[in-house]
Structure 1
Amino acid sequence: MRKLIESTFVSLDGIIDDTRPSTASRAEPQHWGQPYWDADHAGYAEKLMNSADALLLGRVTYQGFAEAWSSRAGDPGADAMNAMPKYVASRTLTETTWNASLIKGDVAEEVARLKEQPGRNILKWGTGELDRTLVQHGLVDEFHFWYFPVVVGAGKHLFEGAGFDTTHLRLADVDRFDSGIVVHVYVPK
């Protein structure tokens, strides 16, 4: 069975994103995280990408990634990102581009079905509304929380308003980067 791996950037005060709509763009990970994106960061992201053969994305992450990546070409990382099949969970999108398919029907059932298919890991970047369903149904096999050495002060917190019961995890691994990023890998207990 394939593993579903969640990968999320988190500030030290637990911020994962802007609380849209707002003017707190400083809370967007591409603003506070970018100064720390170095060779260690790229290498870890590449390791995650190389372990997977599909991406699972919520609408917001899908649209942001499609905008950022779809026009890039000519380097192995961009080419791999663009070629990889993507599965998008959305209640509002009616069509996709960028080598993506909309998940139709019950998201938990479809993700469970994807995990049963042969292949490598399924990688999910970002934490948002989709995670409520994934955590409630025990579908995430590993959480990779990238803690950045920055306090943002405003924005959406990790699992804010998730509405699921207490979920206990076990620390499986820790990676430290020279930039100060520390990745904690957790698995269900």
Structure 2
Amino acid sequence: MRKVIVSEILSLEGHFTGPGGDVSVMPFDAGFSESNAALLRGADTVLLGRTTFLGFRDYWPGVRYDPGQPELEREISRLNWTVDKVVVSDTLTAADTEPWSETTRIVPRAEAHDVVSALRAGDGGDVVVFGSHVLWNDLLEHGLVDELVLMVGPGLVGAGGVPAFTATQPARLRLLDVQRPDGSDLVRLRYAVDSAQP
């Protein structure tokens, strides 16, 4: 059985973006990339919502051979290129997945729970969710998230920031570990979701 692991960066007040979905105000540093690279190395599937997928598709392909980018960022780009991607969307088409069409599958929202359940029941590496706030909150509420990896940073995004958690049902979490990556101001909190469905 595989785990579904959500990775999210948060401000101190628990927001995952600033006003209007602005992610540039988030407290990113190299620790965020190190954590995400480690998750990607252990994954064979990345699960994304439409908005996050489009952002990844437009940004990451050009990074893998860019000598101006740090090696870690180029590695993340290469990992994103090869990993299987499952995108939950009712509006995207196969044409929207280029240049990742060979490794990307689109599933409608109505089928998302069944698809995620099947992924969890299969063999292989982890299923990692990056960003995709609406998607992972829905999966969390329905017991389909096994771990939360929260990178909490030293910043406040202020009024208009978007809260990370929107689930209306309680979830029991168990702290697995706390890390502060070398040279980073982020704190990495890893929780097991004890209410996840088997």
Give the equivalent residue in structure 2 for 1:24.
none
- For 2:64, the aligned partner's letter is A
1:106-130 C-alpha deviation (Å, 9 max, x unpaired)? 2111110111222100110014111
Give the equivalent residue in structure 1 for 2:131.
126
Structure 1: gaps of 5 or more residues: 21-26
RMSD of the TM alignment (CA)? 1.8
Question: What percentage of residue pairs aligned between the two structures are identical?
Answer: 30
Give the equivalent residue in structure 2 for 1:63.
54
Shift of 1:140: 0.6
* Large movers: runs of 4+ above 4 Å: none
1:28 to 22, 31, 47: 22
**Which structure's residues are more often helix, by fraction?**
2
1:144-169 C-alpha deviation (Å, 9 max, x unpaired)? 01001101103111123x3x311121
- For 2:26, the aligned partner's letter is W
Give the equivalent residue in structure 2 for 1:52.
43
Q: Is the CA contact (8 Å cut-off) linking 1:7 and 1:123 kept in structure 2?
A: yes
SS at match of 2:191: strand
- For 1:152, the aligned partner's letter is V
Distance in 1 (CA, whole Å) between partners of 2:40 and 2:3 is 13
Distance in 2 (CA, whole Å) between partners of 1:130 and 1:112 is 14
Give the equivalent residue in structure 1 for 2:193.
188
Give the equivalent residue in structure 2 for 1:4.
4
When normalised by structure 1's length, the TM-score is 0.85
SS at match of 1:70: helix
SS at match of 2:10: strand
SS at match of 2:32: helix
Distance in 1 (CA, whole Å) between partners of 2:138 and 2:41 is 26
Give the equivalent residue in structure 1 for 2:71.
none
Q: Is the CA contact (8 Å cut-off) linking 1:108 and 1:133 kept in structure 2?
A: no
- For 1:159, the aligned partner's letter is F
Shift of 1:19: 4.7
Shift of 1:70: 2.1
Single out whichever of 143-152 and 97-106 deviates more from structure 2. Answer: 97-106
1:78-100 C-alpha deviation (Å, 9 max, x unpaired)? 11111111000112223341231
Give the equivalent residue in structure 1 for 2:117.
112
Shift of 1:66: 0.8
2:105 to 97, 101, 106: 101
1:11-40 C-alpha deviation (Å, 9 max, x unpaired)? 0011102454xxxxxx63334334xx22x4
- For 1:136, the aligned partner's letter is E
Distance in 1 (CA, whole Å) between partners of 2:137 and 2:154 is 26
SS at match of 2:56: helix
| Matches for 1:66-85 after TM superposition, within 5 Å | 66-74=57-65, 75-85=74-84
Distance in 2 (CA, whole Å) between partners of 1:119 and 1:9 is 26
Give the equivalent residue in structure 2 for 1:166.
170
Distance in 2 (CA, whole Å) between partners of 1:58 and 1:78 is 18
